[in-house]
Amino acid sequence: MRGRSAGGRLMDSEAGTAGDGDQKFALLDTAAARLLRITNPGQLIDELFELASQALGLDVYFHYGLESDGLLHLAKSSGLDEALRREGACLALGAAVCGCVARDRVSRHVADVHLSEDPDVDFIRRAGLKHYACHPLIGGDQLLGTLGFGRRDDRPFTADERLVLQTLTRYVAIAKERLRVEAALGESERRLNAVLNNATVAIFVMDERQHCSFMNAAAERLTGFAFEEVQGRALHDVIHHTRPDGSHFPIEECAIDRAFPENNQQQGEEVFVHRDGSFYPVAFTASPIRDEASHTVGTIIEVRDIAHQKRNEEARELLMREVDHRARNALTVVQSMLRLTRASSIEHFQEILLGRVSALARAQGALAAQRWEGGLAREVIEGELATVGRPSQYRLEGDDWPLAPQEVQPLGMIVHELATNAAKYGALSAEDGCVTVRLSGARGARRLAWIETGGPAAPPPPRQGFGSRLIGQLAAQLNASLARDWGEAGLTVTLDLGPV
């Protein structure tokens, strides 16, 4: 219903008609549906104004956003020329109608703008508006900005229309807050995923049904499965279903899955099944996930591959046993030296014994330098020759060959006995004497030839002393054949070993 006021301007009925009410409800319904679907904040106000302008006959809208500088900045508008947009680009709180609405957080309706003398309405008057409604945009407790609508014709906003515009403004605030929260959650999720996917430890999450709901990149690499292959499946049935002996592993016996029903953290070691069917040991920590009411709603599992650690532990145990074995052997050899070494005096005895113990120590040192994994024949032989002769008195020929761990000590002791004997009675006792050690057979049966030249003749000894017996015993330890040739030119010894 329309009437004429005493001043002569047209007035809309405050109540409107039933048809108007249906139209307004339809507008609100459509606006709500669209605002829920919108994902682009810049599109938000345009969509709303398009709907509202068609239904309510709007000519202008202003959308101001509150920025970090504490000022209102014109974010979107329609129906303004460029000069007015530049003039109204920035407002302080309390300046003009929009600034007052933002400051007070209270909606404001201005009718008959062209007749008002209030300086706050100067801007909207210059925009040619006659009626204007402005509402604060509030998300939660936070002021986001303002949203204002205006008409240039004589129709003032009815109470119903103002209520519709206020409701639409609240819809916009809710939608903007939703977009802000979604953006914050998205950024938080991106950061979390960046952390999880760059973590070296495998991380799994199981829901309340103990089905997999998350795997990070490390978990995919560990198991051989992509997350898409495991999602929604019981994790136990995918990677923990079988014991290494091939028997079935019931989920009821799984310590990892007990973390959920027992509501308690579980730690330990298990053996998982890779996608290719192989088994690998892991260390795990399974912790319950609780909601705000402390109800368990899932399980987070941290898993670390300990196959390398297990191999190192096994190697360390093997090394300790090997060291113990070598030490016992060394002590046995020293005991034999003490018991069987013969000398004409205490000083001579000390000299002989010290030389043999030193040779034993050098062999142990060479073995330790190779982490008790073996050695090289040339290194062991040179180490012994250097203790009794000048470099000009000996030379090594032929290809070097490897020694097994159990061969290093016996070969070092053999060379020590030969070198000591050569320094006392053989080639190394003469100024022009020389010892040649010739190595051959690096890839198969190995041979060491000890050849003395330039020294005194080497007649066979009248009896076999401790040194000779020791060389024979050490050769037996090497499973090697030993041959000696006492000739006019000097002693020649051949030691034949099998392949490593």
pLDDT higher than 60, residue 339: no
Asked whether residue 194 is assigned to any structural domain, the reply reads no
> H or E element: which one contains 368?
helix 346-369
Quick one: pLDDT at residue 347? 75
Quick one: pLDDT at residue 439? 92
Q: State the pLDDT confidence band at 372, using cuts at 50, 70 and 90.
A: low
Check whether residue 235 and residue 315 sit in a common domain: no
Check whether residue 274 and residue 332 sit in a common domain: no
396 CB-contact burial (10 Å; exposed 0-12 / middle 13-18 / buried 19+): middle
Asked whether residue 191 is assigned to any structural domain, the reply reads no
Quick one: pLDDT at residue 16? 45
Asked whether residue 195 is assigned to any structural domain, the reply reads no
Q: State the pLDDT confidence band at 383, using cuts at 50, 70 and 90.
A: confident
Q: State the pLDDT confidence band at 222, using cuts at 50, 70 and 90.
A: very high
**Which has the higher per-residue pLDDT, 2 or 364?**
364
**Which has the higher per-residue pLDDT, 370 or 140?**
140
Q: Helix (H, G, I), strand (E, B), or coil: what is residue 341?
A: coil
Check whether residue 260 and residue 353 sit in a common domain: no
pLDDT higher than 50, residue 10: no
Check whether residue 216 and residue 137 sit in a common domain: no
Enclosing domain of residue 178: 2-183
Over residues 60-67, mean pLDDT:
91
The phi and psi torsions of 271 (rounded to 5 degrees) equal: -120, 120
Angle subtended by helix axes 41-56 and 18-37, to nearest 10? 170
Give me 399's structure tokens: 């290809």
Asked whether residue 209 is assigned to any structural domain, the reply reads yes
Contacts by 13-20, CB closer than 8 A, 24 or more apart: 13/158, 14/158, 14/159, 14/160, 15/158, 15/160, 16/158, 16/160, 20/160
Check whether residue 72 and residue 131 sit in a common domain: yes
CA neighbours closer than 13 Å in the CB half-sphere of residue 355: 22
Q: Are 196 and 203 in contact (CB under 8 A)?
A: yes
Asked whether residue 177 is assigned to any structural domain, the reply reads yes
Q: State the pLDDT confidence band at 12, using cuts at 50, 70 and 90.
A: very low
**Which has the higher per-residue pLDDT, 322 or 412?**
412
Check whether residue 338 and residue 483 sit in a common domain: yes
What are the C-alpha distances in Å from 437 to residues 17, 77, 236, 243, 377? 120, 99, 63, 56, 11
Check whether residue 239 and residue 339 sit in a common domain: no
Over residues 121-137, mean pLDDT:
92
Length of the chain: 500
Quick one: pLDDT at residue 488? 82
Q: What is the pLDDT of residues 237-296, one digit of tens each?
A: 999 999 999 999 998 888 887 777 767 788 889 999 999 999 999 999 988 888 888 888
Quick one: pLDDT at residue 489? 82
CB atoms closer than 10 angstroms to residue 411: 25
Give me 61's structure tokens: 């809208």
The total of structural domains in the chain comes to 3
**Which has the higher per-residue pLDDT, 228 or 347?**
228
Check whether residue 379 and residue 258 sit in a common domain: no
Check whether residue 110 and residue 248 sit in a common domain: no
pLDDT higher than 70, residue 127: yes
Asked whether residue 450 is assigned to any structural domain, the reply reads yes
Check whether residue 284 and residue 341 sit in a common domain: no
Over residues 402-412, mean pLDDT:
85
Q: What is the pLDDT of residues 427-481, one digit of tens each?
A: 888 888 999 999 998 667 899 999 999 888 878 877 777 778 888 888 998 899 9
* Best CA proximity match to 353, nearest among 428, 345, 462: 345
**Which has the higher per-residue pLDDT, 465 or 21?**
465
Asked whether residue 78 is assigned to any structural domain, the reply reads yes
**Which has the higher per-residue pLDDT, 233 or 34?**
233
387: domain CATH number is 3.30.565.10
Sheet holding 212-215, edge to edge: 212-215, 202-206, 296-305, 279-290, 266-273
Quick one: pLDDT at residue 130? 94
Asked whether residue 365 is assigned to any structural domain, the reply reads yes
Q: Among 121, 156, 183, where does a domain finish?
A: 183
Share of the chain above pLDDT 70, in %: 83
Check whether residue 166 and residue 95 sit in a common domain: yes
Check whether residue 155 and residue 105 sit in a common domain: yes
Strand 60-66, strand 72-78: pairing: antiparallel
The model's pTM is: 0.47
**Which has the higher per-residue pLDDT, 322 or 86?**
86
Q: Are 151 and 58 in contact (CB under 8 A)?
A: yes
Quick one: pLDDT at residue 9? 33
Q: What's the whole-number average pLDDT of the chain? A: 82
Quick one: pLDDT at residue 5? 32
